[in-house]
Amino acid sequence: MAAPLRIAGVVRRALALCAGMAAGAALAAGAYDCQLPGGSDVLVVGSDIARRFPSIGSACAAASWAPAAEVPPPAWPALPVRVIHARAPRGAPEARRAGATGGGDGGSVAGISRRADALAPLIESAAQRHAVDPHLVRAVIQVESGYAPHARSPKGAIGLMQLMPATAARFGAATEEEILSPAVNVDVGVRYLRFLTDRFGGRTDLVLAAYNAGEGAVIRHGYRVPPYRETLDYVRKVLDLYPAPGG
C-alpha cells in the first residue's frame, strides 16, 4: 500500500507544480480589454484602468493574451541623442517659426502661450533629463493643451501633455492624481517623446505622429506619418511652433 501512496503523492505534487506554473503564466500574460470613452479603439493594457482611474469612465474586462511579434523597425542611421528637426511643411508661416521673444533657451517662442514661462523650469529639467529639445516640448504642450494643466480630452487624455492613462502608467505615473501634477505630467510626456525618438530614429515628424496616433499606426503605415487628417494637422501645427535650430 505504501507504493501507491507514494505514487499518489508524486502525482499531487506534479499537479500542484503544473497549476502553479499555469497561474504564473496567466499572471504574466494577464491583461485587460478597455473601451475608452468617446468611441476610441479598444486597448489591451496591463492594468484595469477603469478601476485605477474611475473618473475616466473606462470599461475594462479581463483578457488573456500574448503580445504579437512586432515588425522590426528599419535600420536607422546613427543619429545624435537630441531630437532632430524635421523639414517644415511647405508654406508654414515663418513668423511663427521665428526665434524667441525672450533670451536664451528658456525664452518664449512666437505662438507659445505666456503660461509656458511659469513651467519653463519643469520643461527644461525634463528635457535635460531625457535629452529632448525643450523647444519641441513647449510646442507639443501648446498644441496638446494650450498649457492648461487640468485639460481633458473626450478620449480620456489628461493634463498638459494629454497623456492617456495607459501610456502614463507605462512610463511611471501610477494614479490620476500623478498625471494631473504638472511636474509628473511633463516628465512622463517627455520620457515618452524620448522613447519615440529612439524608436523612430530621431525623425521628428514620425515622433509627433506616433505621439498623436500611436506607435502602431506609424508602423502599420510603413514608418510614415499616417494619412489621418487629425494626425497630419497635429504634426503640422507642432512643427509650425517648433523653431528651427539657430532660427
Q: Where are the alpha helices (DSSP H) in the chain?
A: 2-29, 49-52, 116-130, 134-145, 165-170, 176-180, 182-199, 204-213, 215-220, 229-241
Cα–Cα distance measured from residue 88 to residue 139, given in angstroms and rounded to the nearest whole number: 14
Range from 12-16, 131-135, 171-175 carrying the lowest mean pLDDT: 12-16
The residues, ordered by sequence, that sit 6+ positions from 226 with a Cβ below 8 Å of its Cβ are 209, 213, 217, 218, 220
Highest mean pLDDT of the ranges 47-56, 72-81, 106-115, 175-184: 175-184
Cβ count near 179 (within 10 Å): 26
pLDDT digits (tens, 9 = 90+) for 130-148: 999 999 999 999 999 999 9
The pTM of this model reads 0.60
* Residue bearing cell 488573456: 64
Cα–Cα distances (Å) from 146 to 109, 183, 189, 200, 207, in that order, read 13, 16, 15, 26, 20
Active site residues: 144
